[in-house]
Protein backbone atom coordinates (compact mmCIF):
# COMPACT_ATOMS: atom_id res chain seq x y z
CA UNK A 1 0.00 0.00 0.00
CA UNK A 2 2.79 2.45 0.88
CA UNK A 3 4.54 1.62 -2.40
CA UNK A 4 1.32 2.22 -4.36
CA UNK A 5 0.77 5.54 -2.61
CA UNK A 6 4.25 6.69 -3.62
CA UNK A 7 3.66 5.62 -7.21
CA UNK A 8 0.25 7.31 -7.30
CA UNK A 9 1.74 10.54 -5.98
CA UNK A 10 4.33 10.46 -8.74
CA UNK A 11 1.69 9.65 -11.33
CA UNK A 12 -0.42 12.63 -10.32
CA UNK A 13 2.53 14.72 -11.41
CA UNK A 14 3.26 12.55 -14.42
CA UNK A 15 -0.32 12.78 -15.76
CA UNK A 16 -1.05 16.34 -14.68
CA UNK A 17 -2.03 18.88 -17.33
CA UNK A 18 -0.43 22.21 -18.14
CA UNK A 19 -2.48 25.36 -18.72
CA UNK A 20 -4.37 23.57 -21.47
CA UNK A 21 -6.52 20.53 -20.81
CA UNK A 22 -4.95 18.11 -23.26
CA UNK A 23 -1.19 18.39 -23.09
CA UNK A 24 0.34 16.02 -20.60
CA UNK A 25 3.88 17.24 -20.18
CA UNK A 26 5.82 15.23 -17.59
CA UNK A 27 7.21 17.27 -14.72
CA UNK A 28 8.97 14.22 -13.32
CA UNK A 29 10.11 10.95 -14.75
CA UNK A 30 9.20 7.39 -13.95
CA UNK A 31 11.18 4.35 -14.93
CA UNK A 32 9.51 2.39 -17.70
CA UNK A 33 10.26 -0.74 -15.70
CA UNK A 34 8.25 0.65 -12.77
CA UNK A 35 5.30 1.54 -14.99
CA UNK A 36 5.27 -1.89 -16.60
CA UNK A 37 5.44 -3.72 -13.31
CA UNK A 38 2.24 -5.07 -11.72
CA UNK A 39 2.49 -2.46 -8.95
CA UNK A 40 3.13 0.34 -11.43
CA UNK A 41 0.23 -0.43 -13.72
CA UNK A 42 -2.09 -0.97 -10.73
CA UNK A 43 -1.13 2.49 -9.52
CA UNK A 44 -2.00 3.95 -12.93
CA UNK A 45 -5.38 2.24 -12.80
CA UNK A 46 -5.95 3.46 -9.24
CA UNK A 47 -5.22 7.02 -10.37
CA UNK A 48 -7.91 6.69 -13.06
CA UNK A 49 -10.42 5.43 -10.46
CA UNK A 50 -9.40 8.22 -8.09
CA UNK A 51 -10.50 10.77 -10.68
CA UNK A 52 -14.11 9.65 -10.20
CA UNK A 53 -14.12 11.82 -7.08
CA UNK A 54 -12.28 14.67 -8.79
CA UNK A 55 -8.69 14.49 -10.01
CA UNK A 56 -7.55 17.41 -7.87
CA UNK A 57 -7.76 15.15 -4.84
CA UNK A 58 -8.63 17.93 -2.38
CA UNK A 59 -11.53 19.77 -0.79
CA UNK A 60 -11.66 22.05 -3.86
CA UNK A 61 -13.73 19.39 -5.63
CA UNK A 62 -16.87 21.35 -4.71
CA UNK A 63 -15.92 23.84 -7.44
CA UNK A 64 -16.31 21.15 -10.12
CA UNK A 65 -18.41 18.52 -8.34
CA UNK A 66 -18.47 15.04 -9.81
CA UNK A 67 -21.80 14.43 -8.04
CA UNK A 68 -23.43 16.80 -10.57
CA UNK A 69 -25.61 18.52 -7.96
CA UNK A 70 -25.05 21.93 -9.53
CA UNK A 71 -25.17 20.78 -13.16
CA UNK A 72 -28.03 18.30 -12.95
CA UNK A 73 -30.38 19.60 -10.24
CA UNK A 74 -29.80 23.31 -9.60
CA UNK A 75 -30.21 23.90 -13.34
CA UNK A 76 -33.50 21.98 -13.20
CA UNK A 77 -36.75 22.70 -11.35
CA UNK A 78 -35.82 20.55 -8.37
CA UNK A 79 -33.22 22.55 -6.41
CA UNK A 80 -31.90 25.99 -5.48
CA UNK A 81 -28.22 26.83 -5.23
CA UNK A 82 -28.56 27.79 -1.56
CA UNK A 83 -25.67 28.96 0.58
CA UNK A 84 -25.17 32.52 1.80
CA UNK A 85 -27.07 34.32 -0.98
CA UNK A 86 -26.86 34.81 -4.72
CA UNK A 87 -23.30 36.17 -4.49
CA UNK A 88 -22.02 33.10 -2.66
CA UNK A 89 -20.28 31.37 -5.59
CA UNK A 90 -21.96 33.68 -8.08
CA UNK A 91 -20.99 31.42 -10.98
CA UNK A 92 -23.45 28.85 -9.63
CA UNK A 93 -26.16 31.52 -9.40
CA UNK A 94 -25.60 32.14 -13.11
CA UNK A 95 -26.02 28.42 -13.82
CA UNK A 96 -29.28 28.35 -11.84
CA UNK A 97 -30.87 31.35 -13.53
CA UNK A 98 -29.34 30.89 -17.00
CA UNK A 99 -28.26 34.54 -16.88
CA UNK A 100 -24.65 35.61 -17.28
CA UNK A 101 -23.34 32.17 -18.23
CA UNK A 102 -20.37 33.15 -20.35
CA UNK A 103 -17.55 31.22 -21.99
CA UNK A 104 -15.06 32.89 -19.63
CA UNK A 105 -16.71 31.34 -16.55
CA UNK A 106 -13.72 29.92 -14.69
CA UNK A 107 -15.65 27.10 -13.08
CA UNK A 108 -16.69 25.78 -16.48
CA UNK A 109 -13.09 25.79 -17.61
CA UNK A 110 -12.20 23.95 -14.42
CA UNK A 111 -14.82 21.27 -15.06
CA UNK A 112 -13.69 20.73 -18.65
CA UNK A 113 -10.04 20.66 -17.59
CA UNK A 114 -10.56 18.12 -14.83
CA UNK A 115 -12.65 15.80 -16.97
CA UNK A 116 -9.90 15.71 -19.58
CA UNK A 117 -7.32 15.03 -16.88
CA UNK A 118 -9.51 12.07 -15.97
CA UNK A 119 -9.63 10.91 -19.61
CA UNK A 120 -5.84 11.18 -19.78
CA UNK A 121 -5.40 9.05 -16.67
CA UNK A 122 -7.42 6.28 -18.28
CA UNK A 123 -5.48 6.67 -21.52
CA UNK A 124 -2.15 6.49 -19.67
CA UNK A 125 -3.16 3.24 -18.02
CA UNK A 126 -4.45 1.77 -21.30
CA UNK A 127 -1.20 2.58 -23.12
CA UNK A 128 0.85 0.75 -20.50
CA UNK A 129 -1.57 -2.18 -20.40
CA UNK A 130 -1.44 -2.49 -24.18
CA UNK A 131 2.35 -2.73 -24.00
CA UNK A 132 2.26 -5.59 -21.50
CA UNK A 133 1.55 -9.27 -21.97
CA UNK A 134 -0.86 -11.50 -20.07
CA UNK A 135 2.16 -13.32 -18.67
CA UNK A 136 3.57 -10.06 -17.27
CA UNK A 137 0.21 -9.05 -15.83
CA UNK A 138 -2.51 -11.72 -15.65
CA UNK A 139 -5.22 -9.13 -14.93
CA UNK A 140 -4.36 -7.15 -18.05
CA UNK A 141 -7.65 -7.70 -19.90
CA UNK A 142 -9.74 -7.04 -16.81
CA UNK A 143 -7.93 -3.77 -16.11
CA UNK A 144 -8.24 -2.79 -19.78
CA UNK A 145 -11.98 -3.26 -19.46
CA UNK A 146 -12.08 -1.13 -16.33
CA UNK A 147 -10.06 1.67 -17.93
CA UNK A 148 -12.23 1.71 -21.04
CA UNK A 149 -15.27 1.84 -18.75
CA UNK A 150 -13.85 4.82 -16.85
CA UNK A 151 -12.78 6.65 -19.99
CA UNK A 152 -16.28 6.23 -21.43
CA UNK A 153 -17.77 7.57 -18.18
CA UNK A 154 -15.62 10.71 -18.35
CA UNK A 155 -16.49 11.26 -22.00
CA UNK A 156 -20.19 10.75 -21.24
CA UNK A 157 -20.02 13.52 -18.65
CA UNK A 158 -18.23 15.81 -21.12
CA UNK A 159 -20.82 15.07 -23.80
CA UNK A 160 -23.88 15.89 -21.75
CA UNK A 161 -22.31 19.01 -20.28
CA UNK A 162 -20.64 20.55 -23.35
CA UNK A 163 -21.93 18.63 -26.38
CA UNK A 164 -19.14 19.68 -28.78
CA UNK A 165 -16.06 17.92 -27.45
CA UNK A 166 -12.75 16.68 -28.88
CA UNK A 167 -12.61 12.90 -28.74
CA UNK A 168 -9.40 10.87 -28.79
CA UNK A 169 -8.11 7.60 -27.44
CA UNK A 170 -4.75 6.30 -26.23
CA UNK A 171 -3.45 5.93 -29.80
CA UNK A 172 -3.46 9.65 -30.59
CA UNK A 173 -0.01 11.16 -29.91
CA UNK A 174 0.02 14.03 -27.46
CA UNK A 175 1.40 16.43 -30.06
CA UNK A 176 -1.69 15.75 -32.22
CA UNK A 177 -4.17 16.81 -29.55
CA UNK A 178 -3.88 20.44 -30.60
CA UNK A 179 -5.21 19.50 -34.04
CA UNK A 180 -8.37 17.71 -32.89
CA UNK A 181 -11.54 19.69 -33.54
CA UNK A 182 -14.35 19.71 -31.04
CA UNK A 183 -16.95 19.31 -33.79
CA UNK A 184 -15.26 16.48 -35.64
CA UNK A 185 -18.01 14.20 -34.37
CA UNK A 186 -21.69 14.94 -33.83
CA UNK A 187 -23.48 14.32 -30.54
CA UNK A 188 -24.86 11.10 -32.00
CA UNK A 189 -21.41 9.91 -33.09
CA UNK A 190 -19.87 10.73 -29.71
CA UNK A 191 -22.59 8.80 -27.88
CA UNK A 192 -22.15 5.90 -30.30
CA UNK A 193 -18.43 5.81 -29.49
CA UNK A 194 -19.17 5.93 -25.77
CA UNK A 195 -21.74 3.13 -25.98
CA UNK A 196 -19.25 1.06 -28.00
CA UNK A 197 -16.61 1.61 -25.33
CA UNK A 198 -18.95 0.28 -22.66
CA UNK A 199 -19.76 -2.71 -24.88
CA UNK A 200 -16.05 -3.44 -25.34
CA UNK A 201 -15.54 -3.16 -21.59
CA UNK A 202 -18.44 -5.53 -20.90
CA UNK A 203 -16.90 -8.10 -23.23
CA UNK A 204 -13.80 -8.53 -21.03
CA UNK A 205 -14.98 -7.60 -17.55
CA UNK A 206 -15.89 -10.36 -15.07
CA UNK A 207 -19.43 -10.83 -13.79
CA UNK A 208 -18.26 -9.87 -10.30
CA UNK A 209 -15.19 -8.26 -8.77
CA UNK A 210 -13.63 -9.27 -5.48
CA UNK A 211 -12.79 -5.65 -4.64
CA UNK A 212 -15.64 -3.25 -4.00
CA UNK A 213 -15.87 -0.31 -6.39
CA UNK A 214 -14.36 -1.93 -9.46
CA UNK A 215 -16.51 -1.96 -12.59
CA UNK A 216 -17.89 -5.36 -13.58
CA UNK A 217 -19.65 -6.65 -16.68
CA UNK A 218 -23.09 -5.59 -15.45
CA UNK A 219 -21.95 -2.05 -14.67
CA UNK A 220 -20.64 -1.75 -18.23
CA UNK A 221 -23.88 -3.11 -19.69
CA UNK A 222 -25.93 -0.73 -17.54
CA UNK A 223 -23.88 2.26 -18.61
CA UNK A 224 -24.13 1.13 -22.24
CA UNK A 225 -27.90 1.16 -21.76
CA UNK A 226 -27.75 4.71 -20.41
CA UNK A 227 -25.58 6.03 -23.24
CA UNK A 228 -27.80 4.26 -25.78
CA UNK A 229 -30.93 5.75 -24.20
CA UNK A 230 -29.47 9.25 -24.54
CA UNK A 231 -28.50 8.53 -28.14
CA UNK A 232 -32.02 7.32 -28.97
CA UNK A 233 -33.33 10.88 -28.63
CA UNK A 234 -31.98 12.42 -31.83
CA UNK A 235 -31.16 16.14 -31.66
CA UNK A 236 -30.62 18.66 -34.43
CA UNK A 237 -27.95 21.38 -34.38
CA UNK A 238 -30.17 23.57 -32.17
CA UNK A 239 -30.68 20.75 -29.63
CA UNK A 240 -34.31 20.08 -30.63
CA UNK A 241 -35.34 16.46 -30.25
CA UNK A 242 -36.42 15.55 -33.78
CA UNK A 243 -37.01 11.80 -33.48
CA UNK A 244 -36.77 8.78 -31.19
CA UNK A 245 -34.82 5.85 -32.59
CA UNK A 246 -36.85 2.68 -32.10
CA UNK A 247 -33.93 0.37 -32.82
CA UNK A 248 -31.83 1.98 -30.09
CA UNK A 249 -34.75 1.80 -27.67
CA UNK A 250 -34.95 -1.94 -28.35
CA UNK A 251 -31.24 -2.19 -27.52
CA UNK A 252 -31.91 -0.42 -24.20
CA UNK A 253 -34.53 -3.03 -23.30
CA UNK A 254 -32.14 -5.87 -24.15
CA UNK A 255 -29.26 -4.33 -22.18
CA UNK A 256 -31.44 -3.75 -19.12
CA UNK A 257 -32.57 -7.38 -19.30
CA UNK A 258 -28.93 -8.48 -19.29
CA UNK A 259 -28.22 -6.31 -16.23
CA UNK A 260 -31.19 -7.91 -14.44
CA UNK A 261 -29.39 -11.26 -14.70
CA UNK A 262 -26.76 -9.95 -12.29
CA UNK A 263 -28.94 -10.49 -9.23
CA UNK A 264 -29.57 -6.80 -8.53
CA UNK A 265 -32.70 -5.59 -6.76
CA UNK A 266 -34.06 -2.61 -4.88
CA UNK A 267 -33.10 -2.19 -1.25
CA UNK A 268 -36.17 -2.97 0.87
CA UNK A 269 -36.24 0.50 2.47
CA UNK A 270 -35.67 3.73 0.52
CA UNK A 271 -33.86 5.28 3.48
CA UNK A 272 -31.17 2.61 3.30
CA UNK A 273 -29.82 4.50 0.27
CA UNK A 274 -28.39 6.99 2.79
CA UNK A 275 -26.80 4.35 5.02
CA UNK A 276 -23.17 3.26 4.68
CA UNK A 277 -24.15 -0.23 5.80
CA UNK A 278 -26.08 -0.72 2.54
CA UNK A 279 -23.98 1.35 0.11
CA UNK A 280 -22.53 -1.65 -1.78
CA UNK A 281 -25.72 -3.66 -1.45
CA UNK A 282 -28.04 -5.23 -3.99
CA UNK A 283 -29.11 -1.89 -5.52
CA UNK A 284 -25.64 -0.49 -6.22
CA UNK A 285 -24.41 -1.17 -9.75
CA UNK A 286 -21.58 1.36 -9.83
CA UNK A 287 -20.60 3.97 -7.28
CA UNK A 288 -17.76 6.22 -6.16
CA UNK A 289 -16.24 4.69 -3.04
CA UNK A 290 -15.72 6.96 -0.01
CA UNK A 291 -14.26 6.30 3.44
CA UNK A 292 -13.27 7.79 6.79
CA UNK A 293 -10.77 6.53 9.34
CA UNK A 294 -8.58 5.31 6.49
CA UNK A 295 -5.30 6.80 7.72
CA UNK A 296 -5.65 10.09 5.83
CA UNK A 297 -6.27 13.41 7.57
CA UNK A 298 -9.95 13.84 6.76
CA UNK A 299 -10.72 10.53 5.11
CA UNK A 300 -11.67 10.04 1.50
CA UNK A 301 -15.04 11.75 1.77
CA UNK A 302 -17.32 13.21 -0.87
CA UNK A 303 -15.65 16.61 -1.28
CA UNK A 304 -17.98 17.32 -4.20
CA UNK A 305 -20.82 17.68 -1.67
CA UNK A 306 -18.75 19.60 0.91
CA UNK A 307 -21.05 22.65 0.78
CA UNK A 308 -24.32 20.80 0.95
CA UNK A 309 -24.82 19.88 4.61
CA UNK A 310 -27.40 22.12 6.32
CA UNK A 311 -26.41 24.74 8.86
CA UNK A 312 -28.29 23.06 11.71
CA UNK A 313 -26.75 21.65 14.88
CA UNK A 314 -26.34 18.15 13.47
CA UNK A 315 -23.90 19.29 10.77
CA UNK A 316 -23.05 23.04 11.02
CA UNK A 317 -22.63 23.11 7.25
CA UNK A 318 -22.73 25.71 4.48
CA UNK A 319 -26.36 25.15 3.52
CA UNK A 320 -26.00 24.91 -0.25
CA UNK A 321 -28.23 22.72 -2.45
CA UNK A 322 -31.75 23.25 -1.15
CA UNK A 323 -34.80 21.45 -2.57
CA UNK A 324 -37.21 23.69 -4.47
CA UNK A 325 -40.85 24.36 -3.65
CA UNK A 326 -41.68 22.74 -6.98
CA UNK A 327 -39.98 19.52 -5.91
CA UNK A 328 -41.75 19.50 -2.55
CA UNK A 329 -45.12 20.04 -4.25
CA UNK A 330 -44.36 17.15 -6.61
CA UNK A 331 -44.74 14.66 -3.77
CA UNK A 332 -48.44 15.36 -3.27
CA UNK A 333 -50.65 12.39 -4.12
CA UNK A 334 -54.32 12.08 -4.99
CA UNK A 335 -57.07 9.96 -3.42
CA UNK A 336 -55.68 6.90 -5.20
CA UNK A 337 -52.17 7.47 -3.86
CA UNK A 338 -50.88 8.51 -7.30
CA UNK A 339 -48.94 11.64 -8.28
CA UNK A 340 -50.95 14.74 -9.13
CA UNK A 341 -49.34 14.97 -12.57
CA UNK A 342 -51.27 18.02 -13.76
CA UNK A 343 -52.23 19.83 -10.56
CA UNK A 344 -49.35 19.18 -8.13
CA UNK A 345 -48.08 22.76 -8.35
CA UNK A 346 -51.43 24.54 -8.00
CA UNK A 347 -50.84 25.08 -4.26
CA UNK A 348 -47.72 25.04 -2.13
CA UNK A 349 -47.04 22.37 0.44
CA UNK A 350 -45.31 24.35 3.20
CA UNK A 351 -46.32 23.52 6.75
CA UNK A 352 -46.63 20.28 8.70
CA UNK A 353 -50.41 20.75 8.55
CA UNK A 354 -50.32 21.02 4.73
CA UNK A 355 -49.04 17.46 4.51
CA UNK A 356 -52.04 16.26 6.52
CA UNK A 357 -54.62 18.16 4.51
CA UNK A 358 -53.49 16.27 1.43
CA UNK A 359 -51.70 12.95 1.10
CA UNK A 360 -48.02 12.79 0.19
CA UNK A 361 -45.53 10.31 -1.16
CA UNK A 362 -43.30 9.12 1.74
CA UNK A 363 -40.22 9.89 -0.38
CA UNK A 364 -40.89 13.56 0.42
CA UNK A 365 -39.59 13.21 3.96
CA UNK A 366 -36.86 10.77 2.94
CA UNK A 367 -35.51 13.38 0.51
CA UNK A 368 -36.32 16.82 1.98
CA UNK A 369 -35.78 18.39 5.38
CA UNK A 370 -39.02 20.22 6.34
CA UNK A 371 -39.81 22.44 9.31
CA UNK A 372 -41.17 20.49 12.25
CA UNK A 373 -40.26 17.07 10.82
CA UNK A 374 -37.92 14.52 12.38
CA UNK A 375 -34.42 14.52 10.80
CA UNK A 376 -33.28 10.94 10.40
CA UNK A 377 -32.23 9.72 13.89
CA UNK A 378 -31.22 13.12 15.27
CA UNK A 379 -32.39 13.37 18.90
CA UNK A 380 -31.85 17.10 19.45
CA UNK A 381 -35.26 18.12 18.15
CA UNK A 382 -37.11 18.29 14.84
CA UNK A 383 -35.79 20.21 11.83
CA UNK A 384 -36.34 23.93 12.44
CA UNK A 385 -35.42 27.45 11.28
CA UNK A 386 -31.93 27.27 12.77
CA UNK A 387 -30.95 24.63 10.21
CA UNK A 388 -31.19 27.07 7.29
CA UNK A 389 -28.54 29.63 6.38
CA UNK A 390 -30.36 32.07 4.06
CA UNK A 391 -34.13 31.48 4.36
CA UNK A 392 -35.09 34.92 3.01
CA UNK A 393 -33.58 33.95 -0.34
CA UNK A 394 -33.86 30.18 -0.55
CA UNK A 395 -36.57 29.17 1.90
CA UNK A 396 -36.46 26.55 4.63
CA UNK A 397 -35.90 23.21 2.90
CA UNK A 398 -32.67 21.21 3.06
CA UNK A 399 -31.57 18.13 1.20
CA UNK A 400 -31.81 15.03 3.37
CA UNK A 401 -30.77 12.53 0.73
CA UNK A 402 -27.27 11.05 0.80
CA UNK A 403 -26.38 12.66 4.11
CA UNK A 404 -25.78 10.05 6.76
CA UNK A 405 -27.67 10.37 10.01
CA UNK A 406 -25.79 12.52 12.57
CA UNK A 407 -25.38 9.68 15.04
CA UNK A 408 -23.79 7.41 12.44
CA UNK A 409 -20.25 6.23 13.24
CA UNK A 410 -19.48 6.82 9.55
CA UNK A 411 -19.87 10.61 9.78
CA UNK A 412 -16.98 12.98 10.44
CA UNK A 413 -17.60 14.99 13.58
CA UNK A 414 -16.94 18.64 12.79
CA UNK A 415 -14.90 19.55 9.73
CA UNK A 416 -15.51 18.58 6.95
CA UNK A 417 -19.17 19.30 7.71
CA UNK A 418 -21.37 16.31 7.02
CA UNK A 419 -18.43 14.41 5.53
CA UNK A 420 -18.90 10.67 5.68
CA UNK A 421 -17.95 7.30 4.25
CA UNK A 422 -21.17 7.13 2.21
CA UNK A 423 -20.62 6.24 -1.45
CA UNK A 424 -22.03 8.30 -4.30
CA UNK A 425 -24.19 6.10 -6.53
CA UNK A 426 -23.55 6.65 -10.23
CA UNK A 427 -25.94 3.86 -11.31
CA UNK A 428 -28.37 2.05 -9.03
CA UNK A 429 -30.89 -0.60 -9.97
CA UNK A 430 -33.87 1.78 -9.79
CA UNK A 431 -32.24 3.58 -12.76
CA UNK A 432 -32.20 0.37 -14.78
CA UNK A 433 -35.86 -0.40 -14.07
CA UNK A 434 -36.91 3.09 -15.11
CA UNK A 435 -34.68 3.12 -18.22
CA UNK A 436 -36.29 -0.10 -19.39
CA UNK A 437 -39.76 1.28 -18.62
CA UNK A 438 -38.96 4.42 -20.60
CA UNK A 439 -37.74 2.45 -23.60
CA UNK A 440 -40.79 0.19 -23.56
CA UNK A 441 -43.11 3.21 -23.50
CA UNK A 442 -41.34 4.80 -26.46
CA UNK A 443 -41.62 1.46 -28.30
CA UNK A 444 -45.40 1.48 -27.84
CA UNK A 445 -45.23 -1.34 -25.29
CA UNK A 446 -46.40 0.85 -22.43
CA UNK A 447 -48.30 -1.93 -20.63
CA UNK A 448 -45.01 -3.76 -20.08
CA UNK A 449 -43.67 -0.68 -18.29
CA UNK A 450 -46.33 -0.78 -15.55
CA UNK A 451 -44.76 -3.46 -13.30
CA UNK A 452 -41.33 -1.81 -13.60
CA UNK A 453 -42.57 1.59 -12.44
CA UNK A 454 -44.68 -0.09 -9.77
CA UNK A 455 -41.66 -1.92 -8.35
CA UNK A 456 -40.11 1.47 -7.61
CA UNK A 457 -43.33 2.81 -6.13
CA UNK A 458 -43.98 -0.28 -4.03
CA UNK A 459 -40.50 -0.06 -2.49
CA UNK A 460 -41.36 3.46 -1.35
CA UNK A 461 -44.74 2.25 -0.06
CA UNK A 462 -43.17 -0.56 1.95
CA UNK A 463 -40.39 1.57 3.45
CA UNK A 464 -40.45 2.60 7.10
CA UNK A 465 -42.23 5.97 7.22
CA UNK A 466 -40.97 9.01 9.13
CA UNK A 467 -42.58 9.31 12.55
CA UNK A 468 -43.99 12.48 14.06
CA UNK A 469 -41.57 14.08 16.51
CA UNK A 470 -43.62 13.32 19.62
CA UNK A 471 -45.17 10.22 18.17
CA UNK A 472 -47.77 8.31 20.11
CA UNK A 473 -46.95 4.99 18.52
CA UNK A 474 -45.42 3.17 15.55
CA UNK A 475 -48.03 4.52 13.09
CA UNK A 476 -48.06 8.13 14.27
CA UNK A 477 -46.43 9.47 11.12
CA UNK A 478 -45.08 12.94 10.31
CA UNK A 479 -47.49 13.34 7.38
CA UNK A 480 -50.45 11.69 5.70
CA UNK A 481 -48.37 9.29 3.65
CA UNK A 482 -50.17 7.56 0.81
CA UNK A 483 -48.60 5.93 -2.23
CA UNK A 484 -50.05 3.20 -4.41
CA UNK A 485 -49.09 1.44 -7.65
CA UNK A 486 -50.62 2.24 -11.01
CA UNK A 487 -53.52 -0.05 -11.94
CA UNK A 488 -54.43 0.49 -15.60
CA UNK A 489 -58.18 0.31 -16.13
CA UNK A 490 -58.83 0.79 -12.42
CA UNK A 491 -57.14 3.98 -11.21
CA UNK A 492 -55.63 5.27 -14.51
CA UNK A 493 -56.17 5.21 -18.25
CA UNK A 494 -52.72 3.94 -19.24
CA UNK A 495 -52.21 5.36 -22.74
CA UNK A 496 -48.75 5.84 -24.21
CA UNK A 497 -48.92 9.58 -23.55
CA UNK A 498 -50.03 9.08 -19.94
CA UNK A 499 -47.40 6.40 -19.41
CA UNK A 500 -44.72 8.77 -20.69
CA UNK A 501 -45.84 11.46 -18.23
CA UNK A 502 -45.96 8.97 -15.37
CA UNK A 503 -42.49 7.62 -16.12
CA UNK A 504 -40.91 11.05 -16.33
CA UNK A 505 -42.56 12.13 -13.10
CA UNK A 506 -41.50 8.92 -11.38
CA UNK A 507 -37.87 9.65 -12.27
CA UNK A 508 -38.31 13.10 -10.73
CA UNK A 509 -39.62 11.63 -7.46
CA UNK A 510 -37.30 8.64 -7.18
CA UNK A 511 -34.04 10.27 -8.32
CA UNK A 512 -34.57 13.75 -6.86
CA UNK A 513 -31.31 15.45 -5.77
CA UNK A 514 -29.18 12.76 -7.48
CA UNK A 515 -27.85 15.02 -10.24
CA UNK A 516 -29.88 13.66 -13.17
CA UNK A 517 -32.98 15.83 -13.63
CA UNK A 518 -31.66 18.56 -15.98
CA UNK A 519 -30.04 15.99 -18.25
CA UNK A 520 -33.36 14.13 -18.41
CA UNK A 521 -35.21 17.28 -19.44
CA UNK A 522 -32.69 17.99 -22.20
CA UNK A 523 -32.69 14.51 -23.70
CA UNK A 524 -36.50 14.47 -23.67
CA UNK A 525 -36.54 17.88 -25.36
CA UNK A 526 -38.81 19.48 -22.74
CA UNK A 527 -36.40 21.69 -20.79
CA UNK A 528 -37.85 24.99 -22.07
CA UNK A 529 -41.42 23.99 -21.31
CA UNK A 530 -40.68 22.69 -17.82
CA UNK A 531 -38.31 25.44 -16.74
CA UNK A 532 -39.95 28.53 -18.20
CA UNK A 533 -43.64 27.63 -18.17
CA UNK A 534 -43.96 25.24 -15.25
CA UNK A 535 -41.16 26.44 -12.97
CA UNK A 536 -39.85 29.99 -13.27
CA UNK A 537 -43.29 31.46 -14.01
CA UNK A 538 -44.57 30.23 -10.64
CA UNK A 539 -41.47 29.82 -8.50
CA UNK A 540 -40.48 33.48 -8.86
CA UNK A 541 -43.47 34.34 -6.66
CA UNK A 542 -41.85 32.53 -3.72
CA UNK A 543 -38.17 33.02 -4.70
CA UNK A 544 -37.84 36.59 -5.95
CA UNK A 545 -34.24 36.11 -7.08
CA UNK A 546 -35.69 34.02 -9.95
CA UNK A 547 -37.57 37.03 -11.39
CA UNK A 548 -35.30 37.28 -14.43
CA UNK A 549 -34.40 33.61 -14.75
CA UNK A 550 -35.06 32.24 -18.20
CA UNK A 551 -33.99 29.16 -20.13
CA UNK A 552 -33.13 29.98 -23.75
CA UNK A 553 -34.01 27.13 -26.07
CA UNK A 554 -31.24 26.23 -28.48
CA UNK A 555 -28.57 27.61 -26.15
CA UNK A 556 -28.96 26.54 -22.55
CA UNK A 557 -29.21 22.79 -23.14
CA UNK A 558 -25.40 22.79 -22.96
CA UNK A 559 -22.72 24.96 -21.43
CA UNK A 560 -20.49 27.14 -23.61
CA UNK A 561 -17.11 25.79 -24.65
CA UNK A 562 -14.73 27.50 -22.18
CA UNK A 563 -12.95 30.43 -23.77
CA UNK A 564 -9.63 29.27 -22.35
CA UNK A 565 -9.98 26.06 -24.36
CA UNK A 566 -10.89 27.94 -27.53
CA UNK A 567 -7.78 30.03 -26.99
CA UNK A 568 -5.70 26.89 -26.47
CA UNK A 569 -6.97 25.50 -29.79
CA UNK A 570 -5.97 28.75 -31.55
CA UNK A 571 -9.59 29.17 -32.62
CA UNK A 572 -9.98 25.63 -33.93
CA UNK A 573 -12.85 24.85 -31.55
CA UNK A 574 -16.41 25.79 -32.51
CA UNK A 575 -18.56 27.47 -29.87
CA UNK A 576 -21.96 26.03 -28.99
CA UNK A 577 -25.01 27.86 -30.44
CA UNK A 578 -26.11 31.03 -28.66
CA UNK A 579 -22.87 31.90 -26.87
Instruction: Report residue 31's pLDDT band, with 50, 70 and 90 as the boundaries.
Output: low
Instruction: Report residue 22's pLDDT band, with 50, 70 and 90 as the boundaries.
Output: very low
If asked whether residues 408 and 525 sit together in one domain, one would say yes
For residue 325, being part of any structural domain is answered with: yes
Whose CA is closest to 308, among 51, 518, 70? Answer: 70
**118 has pLDDT over 90:** yes
If asked whether residues 371 and 309 sit together in one domain, one would say yes
Orientation angle between helical segments 38-50 and 106-130, nearest 10 degrees: 160
Indicate the range of 34-48, 410-424, 545-559 predicted with least confidence. 34-48
If asked whether residues 420 and 479 sit together in one domain, one would say yes
If asked whether residues 110 and 192 sit together in one domain, one would say yes
If asked whether residues 436 and 339 sit together in one domain, one would say yes
If asked whether residues 417 and 346 sit together in one domain, one would say yes
Q: Which domain holds residue 562?
A: 33-63+102-225+549-578
Averaging pLDDT over each range in 59-68, 217-226, 407-416, which range is the top one?
217-226
For residue 236, being part of any structural domain is answered with: no
**20 has pLDDT over 70:** no
> In the prediction, which pLDDT does 33 show?
64
If asked whether residues 559 and 447 sit together in one domain, one would say no
If asked whether residues 385 and 484 sit together in one domain, one would say yes
> In the prediction, which pLDDT does 313 show?
92
If asked whether residues 537 and 561 sit together in one domain, one would say no
Average per-residue pLDDT for the chain: 93
For residue 76, being part of any structural domain is answered with: no
Instruction: Report residue 56's pLDDT band, with 50, 70 and 90 as the boundaries.
Output: confident
**449 has pLDDT over 80:** yes
**480 has pLDDT over 70:** yes
Instruction: Report residue 421's pLDDT band, with 50, 70 and 90 as the boundaries.
Output: very high
Q: By three-state DSSP, how is residue 2 classified? A: helix
If asked whether residues 423 and 349 sit together in one domain, one would say yes
Whose CA is closest to 547, among 222, 93, 146? Answer: 93
Distance CA 366, CA 465 (A): 8
If asked whether residues 168 and 179 sit together in one domain, one would say yes
Distance CA 438, CA 435 (A): 5
pLDDT mean over 485-490: 97
H-assigned helices in 340-443: 354-357, 363-367, 391-394, 429-442
If asked whether residues 181 and 320 sit together in one domain, one would say no
**CATH code at position 180:** 1.25.40.390
C-beta separation of 459 from 266 below 8 A: yes
Amino acid sequence: MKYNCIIIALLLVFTSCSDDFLESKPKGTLSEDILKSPNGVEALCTAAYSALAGPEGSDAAFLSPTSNWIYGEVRAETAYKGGGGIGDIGEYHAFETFTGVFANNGLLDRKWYHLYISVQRANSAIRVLNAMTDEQFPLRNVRLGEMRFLRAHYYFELSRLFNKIPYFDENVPTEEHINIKNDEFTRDQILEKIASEFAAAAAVLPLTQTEKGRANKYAALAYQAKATLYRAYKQDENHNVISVDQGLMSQVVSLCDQVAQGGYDLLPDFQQLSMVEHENGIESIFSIQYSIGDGTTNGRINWSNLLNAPKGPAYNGDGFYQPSQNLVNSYKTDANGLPQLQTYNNTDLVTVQDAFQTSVDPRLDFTVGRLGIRWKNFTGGPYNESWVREPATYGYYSTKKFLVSPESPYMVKGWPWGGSALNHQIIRYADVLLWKAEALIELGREMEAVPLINRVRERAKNSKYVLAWNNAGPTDYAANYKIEPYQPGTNVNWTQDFARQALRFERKLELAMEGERFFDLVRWGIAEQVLNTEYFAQEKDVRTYLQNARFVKGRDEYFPIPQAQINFSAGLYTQNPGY
